[in-house]
Amino acid sequence: MSKRDFSRMQRLVVKVGSSSLTYATGKLNIEQIERLVRQLVDLHNRGMDVLLVTSGAVGAGMGKLGFTARPRTIPEKQAAAAVGQGILLHMYEKIFAEYGIVVGQVLLTREDFADRRRFLNARHTLQAMLGLHVIPVINENDTVAVDEIKLGDNDNLAALVAGLVDADLLVLLSDVDGLYDGKPGAAGARVIKEIHEINDKIEALAGGVGSNVGTGGMATKIQAARIAMHSGLVTIIARASETDVLRRLVAGEPLGTAFWPSVKLVNKKRWIAYGATVCGRIHIDEGAVRALRQNGKSLLPSGVTGVEGSFEMGNTVSVIAPDGREIARGIVNYSAIEVEKIKGKKTGEIAALLGYKDYDEIIHRDNLALE
């Protein structure tokens, strides 16, 4: 099997953006949707588990409501999504049904990933749907999401879903051919075919928000690829309008940009790193940085130099190195007030300082996800 041959992979998550599903008017591009569905059905019929993360609800609602530009306010976006969600799902149901395939709608928000119980419930629901040969059609719940809980784009949602269901491959379909090594369309600019590490150079190549009907751009796709790489799966960014793009990608054609996985985080650590809401920051010294990174140790009070935020035991916090970089996220055993009291102290001093000692560690290594 060649490096780009994904034919033996069992589980595929495909994300398609608003610009690939709608015209500039905001109305649905039926021909494009039909081509996408036909490819997904073909992969499903050959035995692959297929999940579709789709944008387009707001765009479809825009066309129905007569908007000529994407709504700017949250209430207007929610109204457009409420109208467009039904239109979009009805279209998918109708076309998939022509091939005898049942689909099920799943609407998610940030809270579904931030809360561990809801995270696991979502995982079990999707696993059950796949077991029943149902293709999940997933979108962010724009009708109720507000800034505080919005995932913000379906690229990151797709990456989180791919990790949630232990997918093998994530394909982000867009209106571009992949990540270019310069400005797309400029003389000499070429698509980067393979990426093994997302560094400052790669991030600098990503632009801002894309089309006027979507919320994502190349920057969000890079963020999504980073999540997927840490989840142990391959991510490919490719053009949605490319003929038979999914079939050709699975067969191994070098279309688009492929991001190859790094060290795979176990499911719980994946949730800590990318799903849980960060409630505060703990600053540590260089000795603690080495202990966490090089020796796989837990975070002890002696290595803590500062505390930010108001968090409680069981919350997720960001761990900050002396140079200001986030090096890890973890679930704390003590509250912010307690950590402030015991920072810089020996483990044996915890009981005397707090009047009790439930744990030796501020964050146990099993509850710590390193960047």
Binding site, annotated residues: 15, 55, 142, 154, 174-175, 215-221
Confidence band of 22 (pLDDT split at 50, 70, 90): confident
Q: Is residue 229 part of a domain?
A: yes
Q: Is residue 54 part of a domain?
A: yes
Of 178, 170, 182, 212, residue with least CA distance to 195: 178
Last residue within a domain, chosen from 267, 301, 318? 267
Last residue within a domain, chosen from 267, 292, 310? 267
What's the chain's average pLDDT? 86
Q: Is residue 2 part of a domain?
A: no
Last residue within a domain, chosen from 220, 246, 267? 267
203 and 83 fall within a common domain: yes
CB 172 within 8 A of CB 155: yes
- Whether 209 has a pLDDT exceeding 50, the answer reads no
Q: Is residue 6 part of a domain?
A: no
158 and 113 fall within a common domain: yes
Confidence band of 314 (pLDDT split at 50, 70, 90): confident
CB 58 within 8 A of CB 142: yes
- CATH number for the domain harbouring residue 322: 2.30.130.10
pLDDT digits (tens, 9 = 90+) for 39-65: 999 999 999 999 999 988 887 888 788
Q: Is 344 left (phi over 0), alpha (psi -120 to 50) or beta?
A: left
Q: Is residue 337 part of a domain?
A: yes
Binding site, annotated residues for substrate: 55, 142, 154
Q: Please give the structure tokens belonging to residue 117.
A: 């119980």
- Whether 353 has a pLDDT exceeding 80, the answer reads yes
Q: For the sheet with 169-174, list strands across it.
A: 103-108, 135-140, 49-54, 11-16, 169-174, 234-239, 257-259, 194-195
355 against 184, higher pLDDT: 355
Residues 6+ apart with CB under 8 A from 58: 18, 70, 71, 77, 80, 81, 84, 142, 213
pLDDT digits (tens, 9 = 90+) for 288-307: 999 999 888 999 999 999 99
pLDDT at 149: 41
Residue found under tokens 């130099």:
305
Q: How far is CA 107 from CA 110, 112, 132, 322, in A?
A: 11, 10, 19, 40
152 and 288 fall within a common domain: no
Of 323, 326, 279, 322, residue with least CA distance to 303: 322
Nearest 5°: phi and psi at 274?
A: -125, -15
Confidence band of 371 (pLDDT split at 50, 70, 90): confident
* Whole-number Å distance between alpha carbons of 270 and 262: 13
pLDDT digits (tens, 9 = 90+) for 228-280: 888 888 999 999 999 999 999 999 899 999 999 876 666 667 777 777 788 99
User: What is the 3-state secondary structure of 144-186?
Assistant: CCCCCCCCCCHHHHHHHHHHHCCCCEEEEEECCCCCECCCCCC
149 and 194 fall within a common domain: yes
pLDDT digits (tens, 9 = 90+) for 327-348: 999 999 999 999 999 999 999 9
65 and 139 fall within a common domain: yes
Q: Please give the structure tokens belonging to residue 221.
A: 């796709």
Confidence band of 134 (pLDDT split at 50, 70, 90): very high
Confidence band of 186 (pLDDT split at 50, 70, 90): confident
Instruction: Count the domains in the chain.
Output: 2
- Whether 112 has a pLDDT exceeding 80, the answer reads yes
- Whether 213 has a pLDDT exceeding 80, the answer reads no
191 and 330 fall within a common domain: no
pLDDT digits (tens, 9 = 90+) for 9-19: 899 999 998 88
Q: Is residue 272 part of a domain?
A: no
Q: Is residue 170 part of a domain?
A: yes
Nearest 5°: phi and psi at 270?
A: -60, -40
pLDDT at 309: 93
19 and 137 fall within a common domain: yes
329 and 200 fall within a common domain: no
Binding site, annotated residues for ATP: 15, 174-175, 215-221
261 and 281 fall within a common domain: no
pLDDT at 148: 44
216 and 282 fall within a common domain: no
249 and 362 fall within a common domain: no
Q: How far is CA 340 from CA 48, 345, 367, in A?
A: 51, 10, 20
Kindly state the DSSP code that residue 14 receives in the 8-state scheme.
Answer: E
Percent of the chain clearing pLDDT 90 (strictly above): 46
Burial of 224 (0-12, 13-18, 19+ CB in 10 A): buried
CB 27 within 8 A of CB 60: yes
In the chain, the amino acid numbered 297 is K
Q: 352 lies in which domain range?
A: 277-370
- Please give the radius of gyration of the chain, using alpha carbons only, rounded to the nearest integer: 22
The 10 Å CB-count burial string (b at 16+, else e) for 103-133 is bbebbbbbbbbbebeebeebbeebeebbeee
258 and 363 fall within a common domain: no
Q: Is residue 141 part of a domain?
A: yes
pLDDT digits (tens, 9 = 90+) for 74-97: 788 888 888 888 888 999 999 999
In DSSP terms, 326 is beta-bridged to 320
- CATH number for the domain harbouring residue 54: 3.40.1160.10
Confidence band of 145 (pLDDT split at 50, 70, 90): low
pLDDT at 111: 78
In DSSP terms, 278 is beta-bridged to 316
